Amino acid sequence: MGAVRDVPVHPEVEPLAFLLGTWSGEGHGEYPNSKPFDYGEEIRVWHVGKPYLGYASRTWALDDGRPMHSELGYWRLKEGRVELAVTHPTGVVEIEDGELDGMQVRLATTAVAMTPTAKSVTRLERDLKCTGSLLTYELRMAAVDQPLQYHLSAQLTRA
Amino acid sequence: MGAVRDVPVHPEVEPLAFLLGTWSGEGHGEYPNSKPFDYGEEIRVWHVGKPYLGYASRTWALDDGRPMHSELGYWRLKEGRVELAVTHPTGVVEIEDGELDGMQVRLATTAVAMTPTAKSVTRLERDLKCTGSLLTYELRMAAVDQPLQYHLSAQLTRA
């Protein structure tokens, strides 16, 4: 009862179906006032036949496996625009909007809300590209009074 | 590598540890301009040793099992206040704030952001109560020009 049945992808998000699956790989991050770091990452994208895709990412330190960042959210495709609605465990929720060009997506933050104790994030830009078996992204971030700049990049393969 | 290890709950969220686990049960919903409905629900709450709990809920229609709502997010406990940061597949992200009283939590929306195509939600209030093996909640909602009013209630048991 309530199990996720074998249903077709909703036509509205069919152009995003290349994201579906479990992806794993490694990335590199840097930001002012912190040491550059390397991380492992797993990204899961799933669907239930409705006009959105579920999205979960978690990362861990490559040296000792301790959990680092994670994020949870949903992908939508409406009126030709990609919408990503996402929650960060730092107490930040965020709406990103962007364009889909084949299997490339370019997203940028359009709205942020946060808890009173969250570390302030003002803008993310995410360029994501898929070649079928390989998923790569670059993420730029403006946060804690720093201007928008390179923060993360990673390469993942379908598990 | 990167597997979630058997780590203790972070002391900061230890008072919320009663939420941890997989819960399943049934609920009832109503709202102006839609038929009252009964639903099944599964709630998963997990931790990775960091100062937050992961949160996922999905619901389905009791008559034919079709998926209904879902939501994803994180629970935090900061400066004596409960913070829930949550994403809805309708393109709405939301911050809720509230009080913890033993195993009861009363939350209310403090900030909402949404995509241009989202159905507008302006406020949620969530009263959640745990007795150890039973988790119950009532949710009130102000949305699409309707004033704040009863929307959902459910009873779940630990799976």
Condensed to tens digits (0 to 9), the pLDDT of residues A109-149 reads: 999 999 999 999 999 999 999 998 999 999 999 998 899 99
B93 and A91 in contact by Cβ < 8 A? no
Which of A46, A68, A93, A107 is most worth mutating to test chain B (most B CB atoms within 10 A of its CB)?
A93
Q: What's the pTM value of the predicted model, to 2 decimals?
A: 0.96
Chain B residues with beta carbon closer than 8 angstroms to that of A5: 65
Quick check: B50 and A66 in contact, CB under 8 A? no
CA quadruple A101, A103, A108, A110: dihedral positive or negative? positive
Which domains are assigned to chain B? 11-158 (2.40.128.20)
B59, amino acid identity: T
Q: Which residues of A touch B88 (CB under 8 A)?
A: 74, 85
Rg (CA), chain A: 16
Cβ–Cβ gap A72/B67 under 8 Å: no
Could you count the other beta carbons within 10 Å of the beta carbon of residue A156? 22
Query: pLDDT by residue (tens digit) across B60-114?
Result: 999 899 999 999 999 999 999 999 999 999 999 999 999 999 999 999 999 999 9
Q: CA–CA separation, A72 vs A90, rounded Å?
A: 12
Please spell the DSSP secondary structure of A43-111, one letter per residue: EEEE--SSSSEEEEEEEEETTT--EEEEEEEEEEEETTEEEEEEEETTTEEEEEEEEEETTEEEEEEEE
* Best mutation target, B115, B117, B119, B124, to test chain A (most A CBs within 10 A): B115
Write the residue in A58, A76, A91 that is nearest to B115 by C-beta: A76
